Amino acid sequence: MPTGYLFRNAEVYAPEHLGRKDILVVGQKIIAIDNHIDAKVPGLEEVDLEGAIVTPGLIDQHIHVTGGGGEGGTVTRAPELNFSELVEAGITSFVGVSGTDSETRPIEALMAKVRALTKEGASGWMWTSNYRYPPTTVTGDVRKDLLTIPECLGVKIAMGDHRCSFPTTQEVLRVLSDCRVGGMICGHDSYLHVHLGDLPIAFPAFMECVKMGMPIKHIRPTHVGRHKVVFEQAIEFTKAGGYIDITTSGGNYMGDASDAFVMALENGAPIDRITFSSDGHGSMPRFDEKGEMVGLAVCKVSDNLLILQKLAKKIGLEKALLPLTRTIATALCLENKGTLEAGKDADLLVMNAEHQPVHLFMKGRQVMKDSKVIVKGTFEV
């Protein structure tokens, strides 16, 4: 393995468009980005990218790495994520999440899978708990999970969904308090990651929590585009300073996630308050009017790339990259992720003119070359 790389003639989107640059990577870090770089480092490999696009590796904050599903019994449990799927999707950083079924998919298994994928080369974190309130944790306590599990960024619950525990506003405030105080004890912010269903009851509860003194930065709703009223509430939430997360793997009432993003901007949502995530390996069940499941699909992490390509045609690549790079890194305080600059982790996605992945580097290690996965997971053939 080379000690580093000197990329020449890269069309750099950091995510802002910097134009044609050279990029020097040594070990796991970006050392320099400049018009021309002369470097003498033993074992350095020089690569002429001939104008190929280079962006930060994509970040996905909502992947069911141990598999979601289970709404139709054990036969409907979605499969686990394989490492090569991250590579193919251009994802270098992820946050693992649990869903409806925490009985056969315990949080301890989520923690182990996150650590396994990180060992294989990605950068991984997790949300503790799932749909339930009180939260399902590893240690039995939210604050202790935050303190003892370095990968834990916060807690997940569900609201406004027939599968959730229907927590009251006071109960939401209580778990938000655990996130806030637990983060204080750990020395970093932590967040309440909230799965939203179609019932428009969550955002009024969130704003009541804010009125009672809870900083809005701790509240992180996802799946905001699945219902018209919920999405309208989500847009107003961004204007109050909150972040919202749009799912790329379908379920957005107005079309796809690129349509939702544009609609949010047109209605006054700040561009730096909107993120994307795939819901990868989560199930997408369909229920009839009686609440019976009538169909099931599995979400794909690769949908992030599809939406990026669509959104780039609508608003340009520089802005289209934001919800999968800088904005989400800023939102989660992932200081070494989301941008291309000296001192940051060398997570680089190289794409062709059609915004299709050609090469991928995770912390300076090449895992895709010439559009082929060259590093696979432990048990992948």
Which value, to the nearest 10 degrees, does the dihedral of the CA atoms of residues 330, 259, 253, 193 take?
A: 0
pLDDT range class, residue 381, cuts 50, 70, 90:
confident
Range of the domain at 11: 4-56+338-373
**49 found inside a domain:** yes
pLDDT at 276: 99
The answer to whether residues 233 and 96 belong to one domain is: yes
CATH code where residue 256 lies: 3.20.20.140
Q: Which of 298, 315, 331 is the last residue of a domain?
A: 331
**154 found inside a domain:** yes
The answer to whether residues 288 and 365 belong to one domain is: no
The DSSP result for 88-119, as a single string, is: HTTEEEEEE---S--SSS-HHHHHHHHHHHHH
**17 found inside a domain:** yes
**198 found inside a domain:** yes
8 vs 381, more confident = 8
pLDDT at 376: 97
The answer to whether residues 145 and 50 belong to one domain is: no
The C-alpha atoms of residue 104 and residue 96 are separated, in whole angstroms, by: 16
Q: What is the DSSP letter of 71?
A: B
Could you report the per-residue pLDDT of 164-201, keeping only the tens digit for each? 999 999 999 999 999 999 999 999 999 999 999 999 99
The share of the chain scoring above pLDDT 90, in percent, equals: 93
The answer to whether residues 80 and 175 belong to one domain is: yes
The answer to whether residues 204 and 242 belong to one domain is: yes
343 burial (CB, 10 Å; 0-12 / 13-18 / 19+) is exposed
**380 found inside a domain:** no
The answer to whether residues 274 and 287 belong to one domain is: yes
- The response to whether 187 counts as a known ligand-binding position is no
Sheet of 219-222: strand order equals: 58-63, 91-96, 123-129, 152-159, 191-196, 219-222, 244-247, 274-277
CB atoms < 10 A from the CB of 256, how many?
20
Tokens 């990029």 identify what position?
23
Could you report the per-residue pLDDT of 197-244, keeping only the tens digit for each? 999 999 999 999 999 999 999 999 999 999 999 999 999 999 999 999
- The response to whether 62 counts as a known ligand-binding position is yes
As for how many domains the chain has, the answer is: 2
CATH code where residue 366 lies: 2.30.40.10
The answer to whether residues 244 and 364 belong to one domain is: no
Residues of 270-289 as b/e, b for ≥16 C-beta within 10 angstroms? Answer: eeebbbbbbbbbbbbbeeee
Indicate which residue of 279, 303, 345, 347 is catalytic. 279
- The response to whether 88 counts as a known ligand-binding position is no
The answer to whether residues 133 and 250 belong to one domain is: yes
**311 found inside a domain:** yes
The answer to whether residues 304 and 244 belong to one domain is: yes
The C-alpha atoms of residue 96 and residue 105 are separated, in whole angstroms, by: 12
Let me know if 272 is a catalytic residue: no
**94 found inside a domain:** yes
The answer to whether residues 241 and 92 belong to one domain is: yes
- The response to whether 162 counts as a known ligand-binding position is no
Q: What is the DSSP letter of 345?
A: B
The answer to whether residues 189 and 44 belong to one domain is: no
- The response to whether 71 counts as a known ligand-binding position is yes
Could you report the per-residue pLDDT of 282-323, keeping only the tens digit for each? 987 777 888 787 878 899 999 999 999 999 999 999 999 999
For the chain, the average pLDDT equals 96
Residue 127: half-sphere exposure toward Cβ, Cα within 13 Å: 31
**381 found inside a domain:** no
The answer to whether residues 11 and 82 belong to one domain is: no
Contact 175, 168 (CB under 8 A): no
